[in-house]
Structure 1
Amino acid sequence: MQLKFTNASRSQFFVTVRQRVDAYFKENKLSPHANRAMWTKASFFLGGYLLLYGLILSNQFGPWTMLIMAIGLGLFAAFIGFNVSHDAIHGAFSSRSWVNRLLGSSFYLIGANPYVWKISHNVVHHTYTNIPGHDEDIEIAPGLIRVDLDEPSRPWQRFQHWYAFPLYSLASLSWVFRKDFLKFFSGKIGQHDNSKHPFKEYFILFGTKAAYYFFFLVLPYLVLDLNGWQLAFGFVIMHLIEGLVLGLVFQLAHVVEGTSFPVPIKGVGIEESWAVHQLRTTANFAPRSAVAAFFCGGLNRQIEHHLFPKICHIHYPAITEIVKQTAQDFDLPYLENQSFFSALHSHYRLLKKLGQPSDASVA
C-alpha cells in the first residue's frame, strides 16, 4: 500500500527553503549543476581509478605492492560512487540527460547496476527514508542488525555494535554478486512495485556483470604472475575496503542518535510533509570539513542532498546555511554531528541501544 505524507500544513517549510535556494543560484548567476571544480574532482577520481587498475595489470610490481594498489582501487571505487555516479544518476551532474547517463555508467566500474540503484535509491529510499518495511536501505543485515524497535530483538543483537562494522565491509561484495540480482528480480522493493523492467535491462544487467567479472577476475588471472588465491585475496580485500567506506557513510547519515524511524499510522500515513520527514530521518556529519566534502561527494551533508537531490553536491556548502536557517525559522530539527568520529560514536551508541532486548531498548 502506497504511503502518503499527510501533514500538508507543514509543507510551507519546503516552499520557503526552495525559494531561498533558487534565489541564491539566481542572484549569483550560478547553475545548480557541475562547475569546473566538480569536473576536476570527477576527473581526478576516474583517472586515479583507471591508473591504479592499469598499474596492477602492467604486472610490473610485486604482490605486496599490488595489494596496496588494490586497497587504493577499492577506495577510489567508493569515491567514484559518491562523487560521480551518485550525482549523475540523480540527474544533478549536468542539465544534459546524456551526460548524466554517461557518467552514471561509472557505476559499472564498481560492479553495480545504475538502473537497479535508481529504483531502490532515487525512488524508494529518497521517498520513504528510514520507514521500516519500505526503505530497504536501513535493512542492513536482517536478523543480524536491528534498527527498528518494533522488530523482535534476538540474543546476539546485544553485540551488534561490535560486529556491525565487519558486516559493513561485505556490502560491496554483496552488491557485486548478489544485491543487484536480488533486487532486480524482486517483485517489490519495500512496497514499491518492481515487477516490470524494460527488456534491454535484462541484457545490460547480465552483460555488465559478466564484463566486471572478466576485467577483475579473469583478465588479472591471465596476465598477472599471481596464484589464484593471491588474486582472490586481493579482490576480496579491495571490496572489503570499498564496502566499509560505502556502508559507513550511509549509516552515519541515517542511523545515528536523533534520527527517527517513523511507523506509518494504520499502515498508510506519515503525519509529516515529505520535506519535514527528511529533516527528522537524516543527519549531517563533519559539515565544515573540506576533506569530508571532497571524498564523500557531499554526502556528509545528507540533509541538503535529500531535500535537493538534483543540485550537484559541489554547491552543498553554499546552501547548507540557507537550509539550516530555514529549519530554525520553522522550529524544525536540523541534525548534525560536528565530525566524522562524533557521528561514528553516535552510530555505535545507537546500535548498542537498539541491540538490547525490546523492553530494555524502549526504556
Structure 2
Amino acid sequence: MFWKSFILLTAYAIPYVLLITGVITNVWLMLAAWMFMGATMSGIGFSIMHDANHGAYSQNKTINKYMGYVINLVGGSSVNWKIQHNVLHHTYTNVEGVDEDIDPGILMRLSPHAKHYKMHRLQHIYGWFLYSLMTFLWITTKDFRQLFRYKKMGLTKAQNVNVGWQLTKLALSKVVYYTIFLAIPLLTIAAPWWIIVIHFIAMHMVAGFILGIVFQPAHVMPTTQYPLPDEEGNLENDWAIHQLYTTTNFSPNNWFLNWYVGGLNFQVEHHLFPTICHVHYKKLSAIVRKTAEEFGLPYHQQPTFWKAISLHASMLKQLGQPEKVRA
C-alpha cells in the first residue's frame, strides 16, 4: 500500500508540476497532462482514500485519518463521504430513499422504485455524460448540501460531527483546492485563461467518468435486487445476505484493473469486509464464493469489465422504461 500510494500520488503531482513550471507548453500535451491527472485522481480515490476512510488502509487509526484526507486533494470531503458511503450506502445498499448512490436526482433513474420521467427513456445514452460530472458536484455544491441534509437527518450528531466547524473546514478546503488547481495554473501556465479552464474541466470529466463506470456496475445491474423495507422499516434479509443480493463483482482476473480500482472489482468482498484492505480481496473471494454456494446464496460476478459495463447499460435502458423492472 505504501508503494502503491507513492506511485499514484507521484503520478498525480508530476503533470501538475510540469504544467505550472512551463515544461509542457504544447496545448495538446497540456490537455493530455490534465486528463492524465483526472485518471490518477480516480486511482487515488479508489486505492488510497477509499481504504483509508473505511479504516482499512492501515492498522494505525492516525494513518487512516490523514490518508483519508486525500479526498480533499480531489475536491471532496472525508467527513461527508464517510456518512454517505460508510453509513448509508454500506448499510442500506440499493434501498430506495436511503442509498444516495442510486439517487442522482431526477436526471437519472437508477432504481425501479424511483419516479419515472419521460427523459429516462434515453438515460442509457446520456447517462455516461452525467457520470463525467460527478466530481464537479464535489467541488461545488454537493458537500454543503449534504452537510445540512445530514444535520437534519441527525447523522452529524450520531457521527459526532460539529456542523459549524465542519462547514468552516469545507469552505477553507474549497478555497485551498481552487487555489492549487485553478488559480495557480491560471497565473503560471502560458496559455489563454479559457484553455486552462477547459483543461481543468476535462480533468474532472475524466475522473468523474471513470468513477461512475466503476461504482455503478457494482450495484445497478440486472442481477442485483432493490429491496424495500416493511412497514416497520425492516429489510427482509440480514445485513450480510442483503449485500450478496445487491452487489456484483466483475473482471476478477484482470490484475491491472484490480490494482487501479483498489479491489473495487471485488465489490462483494468489499461490502462484506469493508475494514479489510483491498489487497486481500482476491484471496477472500474464493472463500466467500464457496460459502455463498454452500448456503444457496447468490454470488454475482461478471467475467470482464466490458461485460459488466454492457449489462449496466442494459439496466439503464430497462430502468428508463415506465414499467417497474423488478423488486
User: The TM-score by the shorter chain falls in which range?
Assistant: over 0.9
Instruction: Indicate yes or no: 2:35 matched with 1:56.
Output: no
Q: Which moved more, 1:55-64 or 1:143-152?
A: 143-152
8 A Cα contact 1:113 1:205, kept in partner = yes
For 2:98 and 2:127, the matched residues in 1 are separated by 21
For residues 14-163 of structure 1, the aligned pairs below 5 Å read 38-61=1-24, 62-140=26-104, 142-163=105-126
For 1:114 and 1:320, the matched residues in 2 are separated by 28
For 1:295 and 1:186, the matched residues in 2 are separated by 32
Q: Quick one: which amino acid aligns to residue 302 of structure 1?
A: Q
> What residue number does 2:237 align with?
272
8 A Cα contact 1:124 1:192, kept in partner = no
Q: Which moved more, 1:348-357 or 1:71-80?
A: 348-357
Q: Quick one: which amino acid aligns to residue 226 of structure 1?
A: A
Query: CA 1:160/1:192 → structure 2, altered by over 3 Å: closer, same or farther?
Result: farther
Q: Quick one: which amino acid aligns to residue 140 of structure 2?
A: F
Shift of 1:251: 0.3
Q: Deviations over 1:48-67 (max 9, x none)?
A: 11112111111122221111
Shift of 1:106: 1.0
For residues 157-236 of structure 1, the aligned pairs below 5 Å read 157-187=120-150, 193-194=155-156, 197-198=161-162, 199-236=164-201
Shift of 1:294: 0.8
5+ residue gaps, structure 2, are none
Alignment length (residue pairs):
323
Q: Quick one: which amino acid aligns to residue 295 of structure 1?
A: Y
> What residue number does 1:293 align with?
258
8 A Cα contact 2:150 2:156, kept in partner = yes
Shift of 1:188: 5.7
Q: Which moved more, 1:193-202 or 1:46-55?
A: 193-202
The alignment partner of 2:95 has SS state of coil
Q: Quick one: which amino acid aligns to residue 121 of structure 1?
A: H
Out of 250, 270, 273, the residue aligned to residue 215 of structure 2 is: 250
Q: Quick one: which amino acid aligns to residue 111 of structure 2?
A: D
Shift of 1:105: 1.3
5+ residue gaps, structure 1, are 1-37
Shift of 1:71: 0.3
Shift of 1:147: 2.2
